[in-house]
Amino acid sequence: MNISEFSAWLNGLLEPQAFKDYCNNGLSVEASDKVTRVVTGVSFRDRLIDAAIEDGADCIFVHHPNGFWVNENRVLVGKFGERMRRLMQHGISLYGYHLPLDGQPEFGNNALIAKALGLKVVEGFMVEGEKPVGWIGEFDSPVTREEFVAIANRAFEHGVQNALMYGSDSIRRVGICSGSGASGIEEAVKLGCDAFITGDIKESVPILCEEMGFNLVSAGHHRTEVFGVRALAEKIQKELGIPAKFVDIDNPV
């Protein structure tokens, strides 16, 4: 497929123009004029480039296009320059979609976490630009705190890292925002959530949950964001007929 056609297909699905983000969303490095084989991963890193080269891929899709964040050095020297040089030498283009992949309602990280938890999505929250990044889901029937933690442990391959269960013992309505999504806790409380699921947390979060009397489970930044890139690889292969595979290079935080 021509790279411009592939870009248009991705932008149509992910609608980057509708999100207010702090990093580049879309094509970050154009090293070829075509896309014939794709590797997806959570974060742009040396080992993902290695995997793409080994697989014969000419395109990498990531959630975190490291080196393209606001205020991060973009001068092509050092490690950043080395990575760009390897991409160009091997004809591997790079795409990155951050908040648009978190908020995508069909195969985005938060929608798929809701599905893995057995929740029915009822509304979005944490709007960034024109669209929500997080989703609120509901169980058909309330579960206890212990049942909720057990469900979360099954939903994430590596289980739960932190279970801060200071709130109601009857959990039905759950706010979900992967990665560093704990900034949405207070909005989730105002929207009537009984619990919150996110990736990583800051030191202040346990104190906030305790003092607000709220339930929160965290499962790791990377580990809550494997869902979207894995699903997108399947979608690329199914809908476009382009060989694509997800490569999970685990990051425990």
The one-digit pLDDT tens for each residue of the chain (253 residues) are: 999 999 999 999 999 999 999 888 999 999 999 999 999 999 999 999 999 999 999 999 999 987 777 777 778 899 889 999 999 999 999 999 999 999 999 999 999 999 999 999 999 999 999 999 999 999 999 999 999 999 999 999 999 999 999 999 999 999 999 999 999 999 999 999 999 999 999 999 999 999 999 999 999 999 999 999 999 999 999 999 999 999 999 999 9
Rounded Cα gap, residues 67 and 43, in angstroms? 11
pLDDT of residue 72: 78
Indicate the pTM of the whole model. 0.96
- What is the assigned CATH class of domain 103-222? alpha beta
CA 208 to CA 105: how far, in whole Å? Answer: 29
Q: What string of DSSP letters covers 232-247? A: HHHHIIIII---EEE-
Residues 87, 30: Cα–Cα separation, whole Å? 9
What is the C-alpha separation between 184 and 134, in angstroms, rounded? 8
3-state secondary structure of 3: helix
pLDDT of residue 189: 98
Q: What is the pLDDT of residue 70?
A: 72
Of the candidates 151, 135, 153, 144, the one whose C-alpha atom is nearest the C-alpha of residue 171 is: 144
pLDDT of residue 19: 98
Please give the pLDDT value at position 71: 73
Beta-bridge partner residues of 220: none
Instruction: Count helices and strands (H / E) in the chain.
Output: 9, 11
CA gap 250, 32 in Å, rounded: 28
pLDDT score, position 240? 98
Q: Where are the domains of the chain?
A: 3-101+225-246, 103-222
Name the one residue in this structure whose structure tokens are 């990498």: 60
Q: Which residues contact 181 (CB under 8 A, 6 or more apart)?
A: 102, 126, 133, 134, 198, 199
Residue 85, burial from CB neighbour count under 10 angstroms (0-12, 13-18, 19+): exposed
Q: What is the CATH number of domain 3-101+225-246?
A: 3.40.1390.30
Domains 3-101+225-246 and 103-222 share a fold: yes
